[in-house]
Amino acid sequence: MKLRELLNSRKITLSFEVFPPKLNASFDNVYNAAMGVANLNPSYMSVTCGAGGTTGGNTLKIAKDIQDKYKVTTIAHLTCVGATRESIKGELDDMRAAGIENILALRGDKPKDYEGEPFKDYHYASQLIADIREYIGDDICIGGACYPEGHVDAVNKALDIDHLKMKVDAGCEFLTTQMFFDNNIFYNFLYRVKDKGITVPVIPGIMPITRATQVANAVSMSGSNMPERFRNLVDRFGDDPEAMQQAGIAYATDQIIDLIANGVNHIHVYSMNKPEVARALQNNLSKIVI
């Protein structure tokens, strides 16, 4: 199923994201955890990919298995850093052959230890999106990434949104946000995006932080602001894994409920191959989401 219909409807959806094993990592644990999330039958799922080919065909294998075994519609992520137009066409052919109908098209970042020129035929996701559209036409639903707090490379937020408009004009049908922990940042972003004439669905990405050690990572990876209210929870419960997990899930549920109360219909959860966290969130919202 192409997601454009669902995302333009007024149904309330909760989607989960999983990641594939890296090429040099053990496959089974990561695979089984991803399938554990699929087994919860969420509204849809997305499968990330390692930029520059660091996860090889594992994204596609996991996305295909989620669709075939669990009948959950899946978005496969596709990055263009280090790619050529020919290599992208090859990846698109493989995706189509596997039954993938939704792609999150990304630039990606140069992987550590990557040798060679990182930007070959592509410098920005908008170029990838334009190529996918040209190659496949409308028979694919394409999404892109956006950054309520600004992308780390962006000169300023206004220019970042100008570039986002280029991405949408190239054929991007929905945007999923980088994680954020303060909903006011998202509401402010929505206002600025609409002001720029971007009308595609903007799906907030919520990351449940369930371990104190995740905090530093999440902040450095995303550049997101961590509100004092959440820092206080980490100070209080960081040494007690069960309490921290419960507090993290409660905080994420609270963020989601606030989003829904403010009219947001589609919420994406960075569930990070943790079926128990995804299940707890789903249970908290079981009568609210489809």
Active site residues: 17
CA dist., res. 121 & res. 167, Å (int): 16
Residue whose C-alpha is closest to residue 14's, from 276, 245, 271: 271
Determine which residue in the list 107, 206, 269, 274 makes contact with ligand FAD, applying CB under 6 A. Answer: 107
In the bound complex, what is the minimum distance in angstroms from residue 106's beta carbon to ligand FAD?
4
Smallest distance, Å, CB 105 to ligand FAD? 7
Rank residues 134 and 162 by Cβ distance to ligand FAD and give the closer one.
Answer: 162
- Token pair for 260: 């829904």
How many Å apart are CA 94 and CA 244, to the nearest integer?
Answer: 41
Q: How far lies 278's CA from each of 18, 91, 244, 267, in Å?
A: 11, 29, 15, 13
Instruction: Count residues binding ligand FAD (CB under 6 A).
Output: 24
**Helix %, strand %, coil % for the chain, to 5?**
45, 15, 40
**Quick check: 120 binds ligand FAD (CB under 6 A)?**
no
Query: Is 205 among the residues that bind ligand FAD (CB under 6 A)?
Result: yes
Amino acid identity, residue 1? M
Contact flag: residue 167 with ligand FAD (CB under 6 A): yes
Q: Does 106 bind ligand FAD (CB under 6 A)?
A: yes
Q: Which is nearer to ligand FAD, 244 or 277 (CB)?
A: 277
CA–CA dist 68, 83 (Å, integer): 28
Q: Does 160 bind ligand FAD (CB under 6 A)?
A: yes
What ranges make up the beta strands (E) of the chain? 13-18, 45-47, 74-79, 102-106, 141-146, 174-179, 202-206, 266-269
Residue among 163, 192, 196, 279 that touches ligand FAD (CB under 6 A):
163
What is the closest distance, in whole angstroms, from the C-beta atom of residue 19 to ligand FAD in the complex?
8
Name residues whose C-beta falls within 8 Å of residue 93's C-beta, 6 or more positions apart in sequence.
none
Window 63-82: residues binding ligand FAD (CB under 6 A): 77, 79
Is 154 a binding residue for ligand FAD by CB under 6 A? The answer is: yes
Which parts of this chain interact with ligand FAD (CB under 6 A)? Answer: 48-49, 51, 77, 79, 104, 106-109, 124-126, 145, 151, 153-154, 160, 163, 166-167, 176, 178, 205
